[in-house]
Amino acid sequence: MSVASVKAAFSPLDQKWGLNETAYSREMGQQMTWLSGLLPFEQCQAVFRELCGRLIPHSSIWRQTQYYGEKLWEYLQAEVAQVSVERVRLPEAHEDQAEKKGMAIDGGMVNIRHEGWREIKVAAHAGCARRRRCQPPQCLPALT
Is residue 8 located within the same domain as residue 76?
A: yes
* pLDDT level of residue 41 (50, 70, 90 thresholds): very high
Residues 105 and 44 both lie in one domain: no
Provide the pLDDT confidence category of residue 91 given band limits of 50, 70 and 90.
confident
Torsion angle in degrees (nearest 10) through CA of 51, 54, 55, 56: -90
Is position 93 within any domain? no
Whether 144 maps to a domain, the answer reads no
41 and 109 co-located in one domain: no
Q: How many structural domains are present in the chain?
A: 2
Alpha-carbon span 47 to 54, nearest angstrom: 9
If asked whether residues 62 and 112 sit together in one domain, one would say no
Residue pLDDT, tens place only, 110-138: 998 999 999 989 898 887 766 666 565 55
Q: Please report the pLDDT score of residue 137 as a whole number.
A: 55
38 compared with 140, residue with greater pLDDT: 38
The rounded distance, in Å, linking the Cα atoms of 52 and 44 is 11
| 127, 99 Cβ separation under 8 angstroms | yes
- pTM tops 0.75, yes or no: no
Note down the domain range covering 116: 99-128
Residues 63, 14 share a domain: yes
From residue 88, how far is each of 78, 85, 98 by CA, in Å?
A: 15, 5, 20
